[in-house]
Amino acid sequence: MLKFFARYKTFAIVFFILSVIIILSIYSLLKPEERLPVYQPDMVNAELVDSTKQYVRKYHTISDFELVNQNGDTITQDYYNDKIYIADFFFTTCLTICPIMTDHMIEIQEEIKNDDEVLLLSHTVFPVTDSVPVLKKYAEEKGVIDEKWNLVTGDKKQIYDLARKSYLATKSNGDGGKYDMIHTENFVLVDKKKQIRGFYDGTDPEAIEDLMHDLEILKKEQTQ
């Protein structure tokens, strides 16, 4: 009996390995490929969406924009052509959620700094004080890599319209006066077609992990 098992030991090992490979191959073929949703305004909490967009069910994309970054350069949608990017809204003197969000953006920047497909875009919600020199000083203090991350300022109405009508990211209209501001913790993942593919709490480390996971899924999808 022992001689019998010794004779077929190699065969049994090879058979076992092949069986595992076949089972794993079948599983990978049957397992559905992960894909991110394409968010439309009617899929998002209505409080976060301008009333003119709440019932839009398809073809929603980020509107064209023209803003100015920390270096005084004009930044338009063209800068993000054929790029995936992560957008948020902040202001430099914020003492509540913004520092946490910025720290998380810095972590993301470190992860993507050598990735040509992915960029970052932070909009100030307080353009009355966040001028180009203020943004430049802030960027230098935070270690912003200019080629990866634009901190932008500009017309308040344009920025606020982007937040509610394009990024679907804030509950407030911010139309209560010169110093009224929108405030949102949302990070928004945007694909190469200017479509929203995910929302993440920029103050939550676990949400940032989810964002990085989803970013890899999106990159695979957009290279197919």
Residues of each annotated binding site: 94, 98, 183
| Phi then psi dihedrals of residue 210, to 5 deg | -60, -40
| Phi then psi dihedrals of residue 75, to 5 deg | -115, 125
What are 87's strand-pairing partners? 121, 188
Q: Helix 205-222 and helix 98-112: axis angle, to 10°?
A: 40
| Phi then psi dihedrals of residue 190, to 5 deg | -120, 135
Q: Which residues are annotated as a binding site for Cu cation?
A: 94, 98, 183
Closest residue by Cα to residue 82 from 158, 190, 188, 10: 190
Q: Does residue 214 contact residue 189 with C-beta atoms inside 8 Å?
A: yes
Q: Does residue 124 contact residue 204 with C-beta atoms inside 8 Å?
A: no
